[in-house]
Amino acid sequence: MGTETQEKFDRIIKESFIEILKPLGFKKKAKKNFYLPLEKIGHIINIQKSRYSTKDDIRFTVNVGIFSPEYWLACFNYHNKDVPVYPTEPECLIRKRIGCMRGIDDTWYTVTTTTDADELVAEMKYNILGFILPFFEKLNTVQKLINELEASETLLHTAAKMTFFAEIKLLDKVRVEYRKISNENYNRHQLARLKEYAEKHGLI
């Protein structure tokens, strides 16, 4: 049996994330990762515990990601493997943390023996229903993702955007992003790699 704090943490995850996400088709891996594969993209939610957590004092936050198989193959396939069945949030094309999604400071939640579990369950439901699922709804197809990337200068940095567009063969959009590179803060090694990548795709 776990400690009272660990049991309380598990209850919070079960009564918010699992009960909302499972009926929507999200698959759970371990206790802290949820993944919904869609056509050519995927949605990821990760419950990240602080490295300073203990069995009696658990701190956690919520990370969200948009996964692209093409982007993964270009940037994370170091050992020539197949696209993972359960990708992780750090491997995502787009990554967000719940504080950023809510427009507030980076937010960590604390669970101890004195924590009101009902209050944290309600807070997690608010996060999921009010911010995470609407974010996923805006980015649940490749075309929606493309549209959002074109409209936003902050959703994804230029080099990653260029790579994504290149991997899905939208070369006109790749050229638009590549022209921005020289005006942004990349070091000479990064610029050399980006130039090599652009040459590989016949952009220069």
| Residue range 130-159, pLDDT digits in tens | 999 999 999 999 999 999 999 988 899 999
What band does 204 get if pLDDT is binned at 50, 70 and 90?
low
Backbone angles phi, psi at 114, to 5 degrees: -95, 0
Q: Are 121 and 16 in contact (CB under 8 A)?
A: yes
pLDDT value of residue 178: 87
What band does 1 get if pLDDT is binned at 50, 70 and 90?
low
**C-alpha–C-alpha distance, residues 27 and 82, integer Å:** 19
DSSP string, 53-106: -BTTBEEEEEEEEEE-HHHHHHHT-TT--PPPSS--GGG-SEEEEHHHHTTSS-
Query: pLDDT tens digit string along 27-85?
Result: 999 879 999 999 999 999 999 999 999 999 999 999 999 999 999 999 998 888 899 99
**C-alpha–C-alpha distance, residues 15 and 28, integer Å:** 14
pLDDT value of residue 126: 98
pLDDT value of residue 182: 74
Residue 179's contacts (CB-CB under 8 Å, 6 or more residues apart) are none
Backbone angles phi, psi at 32, to 5 degrees: -125, 5
